[in-house]
A and B are shown apart, each in its own frame.
Chain A
Amino acid sequence: MKDVYVIGCGMTKFGEIWKSSFRDLFVEAGLKAIKNAGIDHLDSMYVGTMTSGLFVGQEHVGALMADYLGVAPIPAVRVESACCSGGMAVRIGFLDIASGNSDIVLAGGVEKMNDGADVTFALSTAADQEYECYHGVTFPGLYAMIARAHMKKYGTTRDQLAQVAVKNHYNGSMNPNAQFPRKITLEQVKNAVLVADPLTVLDSSPVSDGGACVILASEKIAKKFPKQMVKIIGSGAATDSLALDQRKDITALNAVKVSAKKAFKMAGLKPKDIDLAEVHDCFTIAELCIMEELGFCEKGKSGKFVEDGNTALDGKIPVNTSGGLKSKGHPVGATGIAQVVEIYEQLTGKAGQRQVKNAKIGLAQNMGGSGASSVVHILKKLND
């Protein structure tokens, strides 16, 4: 396999972006990434989007975006794995360069969720339509059932769940691209309106529009640019049962565990080697379970781990320095790309007020559905 580098990135602000269409969001992020990298052409492009057909009635997204980005006739294809469509687009782009097929690839993601579609239904298509959704379960409902099982099995508390949201909003308050860049309190999270017990609206990521892109390149190309070299040293992906009820342990996210193991193995690293991470906090409970599966803390101890400040900006392993899905926003297809954008900016020292000192190795974990698919990338800053 050939080495793969990240040489540039770009994203739109996340939020309710009324002025921009589905295609505008992608093109805005794409142009920023191309200019940031300083390249004059692409060999191929991968576009992550979860369910543009339901959100805006548009499929055939690869060709549409290549056309409007002005890069046709390069090959361009859409990548879909529910909420980890973006992370999977990075992985396919990585494999394209690693195989020697391409030298410069744009991996991007986009979602336009605020154009009037039934968002609860559109998101629920990532779950089992016939055996979960048929009975009226929703995504907050699935994660709420994971939360209740985790609380019962491990004694995780309501306050510990809320702590995740408080931390991520604190980080997001320093991110100009965040949808909700404001601090919130533990009381606000707990007393917010319930969506699916025990989760409130402030345990949940918002409905967002947004686009994000990264430029991946082979070593040959990356060396041409006199800038900080950031290499993708690990990539892993995995799946699990689509339906939550088919899993023996409701609190376990096996796809996260397996995808992380693969990425760590490729990188030759252990969880303790990671300086910072962006993880899929679609709901507060998700971040807790992911901490455990990534090996950042013991199984069942994530609540205490977060409560003790280990994952804060100045903690042992800062998690979701961007504000995470929670504060930054969650335009589904763009999320996995925006995680890599944050890691890249942190490793190149461009994260502004939320910069983690001496960040050399970062991890991005993106997850689909209630954990049925997961993808992990590990990035390393080379020359200093």
Chain B
Amino acid sequence: MPSPKYRREMPQRYRLEAAKCKKCGKVFFPPRLICDKCKSEEFEKITLPENGKIVTFTIIRVAPQQFETEVPYAIAIVELENGVRLTTQVVDCNPEKLKIGNEIKLVFRKIQEEGKTGIIKYGYKAVLA
């Protein structure tokens, strides 16, 4: 069984669900309980666009234990078409050739395994569009 902590994040990681403030329209990913802009506590659920571009990136060469077998791998902050930014790996590419401004698309992939039980944890990764 995946942990409660993992299950709680599934809507965001599996379906890119975000929260849009009903009062001022600001979009939060991950969702929050209060809007920092207008202090409203009312949100509607929206789905993030899958397309965007690279704002900045790096190539990780020294990784935490659960990612050790994957080095070197690219990590980027990407900006989606609606302006929301998130941190994600960029895969299926030569990391050395990446550039700020590259167009990307989010896809559903395996991210890592949980603890000693090895339960597979999923989420989004970016590929070049």
Which residues of A are interface residues toward B (Cβ below 8 A)? 118, 120-121, 124, 130-138, 140-141, 144-146, 148-149, 152, 193-199, 243-246, 250
A245 and B77 within 8 A (CB):
yes
B30 and A137 within 8 A (CB):
no
A120–B66 Cα gap in the complex (Å)? Answer: 11
Q: Is B51 in contact with chain A by the CB < 8 A criterion?
A: no
A244–B125 Cα gap in the complex (Å)? Answer: 18
A245 and B30 within 8 A (CB):
no
Which residues of B are interface residues toward A (Cβ below 8 A)? 5, 9, 30, 55-67, 70, 73, 75-77, 85-89, 100, 111-112, 121, 123, 125
16 further A-B contacts with Cβ under 8 Å, apart from A137-B87, A138-B60, A250-B77, are A118-B64, A120-B64, A130-B9, A131-B86, A134-B112, A136-B60, A136-B67, A140-B62, A145-B58, A148-B56, A149-B100, A194-B59, A195-B61, A198-B58, A243-B87, A245-B77
A134–B13 Cα gap in the complex (Å)? Answer: 10
Minimal beta-carbon separation of A98 from chain B (angstroms): 30
A118–B67 Cα gap in the complex (Å)? Answer: 13
Q: Which of B58, B59, B89 contacts A135 (CB 8 A)?
A: B89
B56 and A135 within 8 A (CB):
no
Minimal beta-carbon separation of B118 from chain A (angstroms): 16
A120 and B85 within 8 A (CB):
no
Minimal Cβ-Cβ distance residue in A for B121: A134
Task: Write out the residue numbers on chain A whose beta carbons fall within 8 Å of the beta carbon of B5.
Answer: 130
Q: Which of A121, A152, A193 contacts B64 (CB 8 A)?
A: A121
Sample of 12 A–B contacts (CB below 8 Å): A121-B65, A131-B87, A132-B87, A134-B123, A135-B88, A145-B76, A148-B58, A149-B100, A152-B56, A197-B61, A244-B87, A250-B55
Q: Assess A149 versus B55: contact at CB under 8 Å? Given A121-B64, A137-B60, A138-B62.
A: yes
A135–B100 Cα gap in the complex (Å)? Answer: 19
Q: Which of A137, A199, A245 contacts B85 (CB 8 A)?
A: A245
B55 and A135 within 8 A (CB):
no
Task: Write out the residue numbers on chain A whose beta carbons fall within 8 Å of the beta carbon of B59.
Answer: 194, 196-197
Q: Assess A141 versus B111: contact at CB under 8 Å? Given A148-B56, A196-B62, A244-B87.
A: no
Q: Which 3 pairs from chain A and chain B are nearest by CB?
A: A144-B58, A149-B56, A136-B67
A141 and B56 within 8 A (CB):
no
Q: Assess A197 versus B58: contact at CB under 8 Å? Given A121-B64, A136-B67, A152-B100.
A: yes
A132–B59 Cα gap in the complex (Å)? Answer: 14
Q: Assess A136 versus B112: contact at CB under 8 Å? Given A131-B87, A148-B58.
A: yes
A185–B62 Cα gap in the complex (Å)? Answer: 23
A370–B60 Cα gap in the complex (Å)? Answer: 16
Minimal beta-carbon separation of A192 from chain B (angstroms): 12
Task: Write out the residue numbers on chain A whose beta carbons fall within 8 Å of the beta carbon of B89.
Answer: 135-136
Task: Write out the residue numbers on chain B whose beta carbons fall within 8 Å of the beta carbon of A196.
Answer: 58-62
Q: Assess A141 versus B85: contact at CB under 8 Å? Given A135-B111, A148-B100.
A: no
Q: Which of B56, B73, B100 contacts A136 (CB 8 A)?
A: B73
A130 and B30 within 8 A (CB):
yes
A246–B111 Cα gap in the complex (Å)? Answer: 21
Task: Write out the residue numbers on chain A whose beta carbons fall within 8 Å of the beta carbon of B61.
Answer: 193-197
Q: Assess A141 versus B55: contact at CB under 8 Å? Given A118-B64, A136-B89, A195-B62.
A: no
A145 and B65 within 8 A (CB):
no
A152–B59 Cα gap in the complex (Å)? Answer: 16
Minimal beta-carbon separation of B94 from chain A (angstroms): 13
